[in-house]
Amino acid sequence: MTFEHPAKEGEENEPGRFAKLAELASNFTSSAGFSVFCVLLVAAFVVVHLLHLDTSWQHLVGDAMGAVALLLLALLKNSERRAEHAIQVKLNAIAAALLEQQEGKGGQAHRALQRAIGLENRQ
């Protein structure tokens, strides 16, 4: 476990294993298939309660919904932090490039700005 920002894990231009897994999970959870799974899970919850099945079934379905909600919360927070980091890097690169341009210098900030383009897709 680390307290480092999730976007800073791994090499600078190479996302870490967790970032890759989080990206795959994010893509899956935004798919139609996952939406259908969630609707079926909620429908199962309603059916179990309407049929007055044993409480163990109610707990099973409720626990499954809780687990999915917790995983989605963690995934959402991770995605938010990575996007926030990418935006900040881009803003810093834009500001540095504008400053260089205003001062009549060239070079370093322009290259940093080029590297920042598409950063959110690489994290």
pLDDT tens digits, residue range 25-53? 888 888 899 999 999 999 999 999 999 98
Q: Of 45, 82, 77, 42, give the one whose Cα is nearest residue 60.
A: 45
Q: How far apart are CA 73 and CA 2, in angstroms?
A: 18
Cβ atoms of residues 3 and 81 within 8 Å = no
Which residue has better confidence, 66 or 92?
66
Tokens describing residue 78: 């991770």
Confidence of residue 8 (pLDDT cuts 50, 70, 90): low
Helices (H), 1-123: 17-29, 32-50, 55-103, 108-116, 119-122
Q: Average pLDDT of the chain?
A: 80
